[in-house]
């Protein structure tokens, strides 16, 4: 049944998603008639990159990371400092920030690789706070609590100027690339190995998987995209300060993943959208909106323990869309 459908309409879901991202959403935002809506959408895009990358490490691989916001901060500061100090354009600072963050992530992660479960979570919390304290106090280098102002926006001279719309499209393109890369890593034999590592690392090791290598690779990939998200954040907002990258932010990212559904890429995006859009929608009730966000978080954990779009339904969707092995006439495996 679904095999027939996916043969006649190949890869329907990605086309729909891309259409929504690049056509429908900009039109709707444009119709709302304010730059503010674009800025909210840009924030959602940055957090979607963050949640998808955090989901890769926490949801798919099962390493509860409580320091993700700090790596996001490393990326943001790398981009901000290289853009304001050296005058590099955004298409250099984005990959540079990603690489620096991945490198720092690997260096910091190496000593924690033998820790499991809550001990790993606590170690990432400590590392995250160490990064935050460093950003806050290394005044000569990061300007400390004053933050870094006047970070150039996303623009290519002669082609387009920095604006809310250009920011939106830049974030949308990077988010689409991120989702594609993480999707290919997650829904593959490699992703199956990661899920095996999550379910039982000792068993996975017995089966011949090099779990330390897998963990380091996952950490590197996840930190790379967190760094890119940070770079986008500093270019789109133009001002960053250490308080954007505190423990609270890590917790917010974790909450987005859990509300959306641990281990599910669409879930991570849904979670980011919900928890960021909700406070905006609830702006009329002003002071109470954070309480509502907390309640939504609580109720969704209570009544939807697998998340709004859980891993099982996400995998089901992916298999229907991409799973050659699920087609009767296919001769290739699902990879």
Partner 1 sequence: MARGGESPILFDIFFFQQLVNGVAIGLVYALMAIGFTLIFGVLNVVNFAHGEVYMIGAYAGLLAITAFAPPLFVVVLIALAAGALTGFGLERIAFRPFRRFRDEASLKSKAMREATLLSSLAMSIIAREAVEIIMGSNMQPIPQQYLLLQPVQIGPLTFASGQFLIFGVSVVSLAALQWLLNRTRIGLSIRAVANNPVGAMYVGIDTNRTIVATFIIGSMLGAVAGILVGLYQGTIFPGMGFTPGIKAFVAMVMGGLNSIVGAVACALILGVSEALATNFIAQGWADLIAYSFLVITLVFFPTGLFGAARERI
Q: Which residue, 21 or 293, is less far from partner 1 as judged by CB?
A: 293
Q: Is 117 in the site for partner 1 (CB under 8 A)?
A: yes
Q: Does 115 bind partner 1 (CB under 8 A)?
A: yes
User: Contacting partner 1 (CB under 8 A), which of 50, 64, 109, 231?
Assistant: 64
Q: In degrees to the nearest 10, what's the CA dihedral of 127, 131, 216, 76?
A: 150
Residue 302 engages partner 1 in binding (rule: CB under 8 A): yes
From candidates 13, 99, 116, 308, binder to partner 1 by CB under 8 A: 116
Nearest CB to partner 1, comparing residues 127 and 318: 127
Minimum CB distance to partner 1 smaller for 250 or for 321:
250
Distance CA 149, CA 36 (A): 20
Scanning 82-90, 97-105, 295-303, 321-329 for contacts with partner 1 by CB under 8 A, the matching segment is 295-303
* Phi-psi category of residue 72: left, alpha or beta, with phi > 0 → left and psi -120 to 50 → alpha: alpha
Binds partner 1 by CB under 8 A, chosen from 16, 30, 36, 114? 114
Residue 297 CB, nearest approach to partner 1 (Å): 4
Taking CB under 8 A as the criterion, the residue among 16, 156, 212, 291 binding partner 1 is 291
Q: Which residues contact 228 (CB under 8 A, 6 or more apart)?
A: 49, 75, 94, 95, 97, 98, 101, 174, 178
Task: Choose which of 2, 34, 188, 295 interacts with partner 1 (CB under 8 A).
Answer: 295
User: Among 119, 184, 213, 335, which residue sits at the site for partner 1 (rule: CB under 8 A)?
Assistant: 119
Q: How far is the CB of 178 from partner 1 (least distance, A)?
A: 24
Nearest to 252 by CA among 42, 41, 40, 47: 47
Return the range that interacts with partner 1 (CB under 8 A); candidates 84-92, 189-197, 221-229, 299-307.
Answer: 299-307
**Closer residue to partner 1 (CB): 4 or 199:** 199
Rounded distance between C-alpha atoms, residue 322 and residue 333, angstroms: 11
Nearer to partner 1, 70 or 231 (CB): 70
Q: Evaluate whether 215 touches 114 at the Cβ level (below 8 Å).
A: no
Q: Where are the alpha helices (DSSP H) in the chain?
A: 2-8, 12-19, 25-32, 35-55, 68-86, 90-109, 117-137, 139-142, 164-186, 189-199, 201-206, 211-237, 247-260, 265-281, 289-303, 311-322
The reply on whether position 251 binds partner 1 by CB under 8 A is: yes
Give phi and psi for 240, each to the nearest 5.
Answer: -130, 150
Q: How far is it, in rounded angstroms, from Cα 89 to Cα 71?
A: 21
The pattern of x and - marking residues 203 through 232 that bind partner 1 according to CB under 8 A reads ------------------------------
Nearer to partner 1, 22 or 247 (CB): 247
DSSP, residue by residue, 140-196: HHH-GGG-B-----S-BTTTB---HHHHHHHHHHHHHHHHHHHHHHHSSHHHHHHHH
Question: Which residues sit at the interface with partner 1, rule CB under 8 A?
Answer: 62, 64, 111-112, 114-119, 122-123, 125-127, 129-130, 133-134, 136-137, 247, 251, 254-255, 258, 262, 287-288, 290-291, 293-295, 297-298, 301-302, 305
């Amino acid at each position: 049944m679904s095999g027939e459908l996916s043969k006649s309409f190949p890869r329907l879901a990605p086309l729909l998603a891309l259409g929504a991202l690049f056509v429908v959403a900009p039109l709707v935002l444009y119709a709302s008639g304010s730059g503010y809506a674009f800025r909210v959408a840009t924030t959602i895009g940055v957090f979607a990159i963050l949640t998808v990358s955090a989901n890769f490490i926490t949801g798919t691989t099962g390493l509860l990371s409580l320091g993700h916001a700090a790596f996001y901060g490393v990326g943001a500061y790398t981009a901000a400092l290289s853009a304001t100090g050296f005058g590099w354009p955004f298409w250099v600072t984005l990959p540079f920030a990603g690489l620096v963050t991945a490198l720092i992530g690997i260096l910091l992660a190496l000593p924690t690789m033998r820790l499991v479960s809550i001990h790993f979570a606590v170690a990432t919390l400590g590392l995250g706070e160490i990064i935050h304290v460093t950003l806050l106090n290394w005044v000569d280098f990061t300007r400390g609590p004053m933050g870094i102002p006047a970070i150039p926006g996303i623009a290519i001279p002669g082609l387009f100027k920095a604006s809310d719309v250009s920011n939106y499209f830049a974030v949308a393109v990077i988010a689409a690339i991120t989702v594609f890369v993480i999707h290919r890593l997650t829904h593959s034999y490699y992703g199956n190995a990661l899920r095996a590592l999550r379910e039982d690392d000792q068993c996975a090791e017995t089966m011949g998987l090099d779990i330390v290598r897998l963990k380091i690779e996952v950490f590197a990939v996840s930190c790379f995209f967190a760094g890119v998200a940070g770079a986008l954040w500093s270019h789109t907002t133009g001002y960053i300060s250490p308080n954007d990258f505190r423990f609270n932010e890590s917790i917010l990212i974790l909450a987005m993943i859990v509300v959306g559904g641990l281990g599910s890429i669409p879930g991570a995006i849904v979670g980011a959208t919900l928890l960021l859009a909700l406070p905006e929608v609830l702006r009329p009730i002003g002071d109470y909106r954070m309480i509502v966000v907390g309640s939504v978080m609580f109720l969704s954990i209570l009544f939807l323990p697998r998340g709004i779009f859980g891993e099982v339904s996400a995998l089901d969707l992916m298999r229907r869309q991409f799973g050659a092995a699920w087609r009767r006439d296919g001769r290739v495996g699902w990879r």
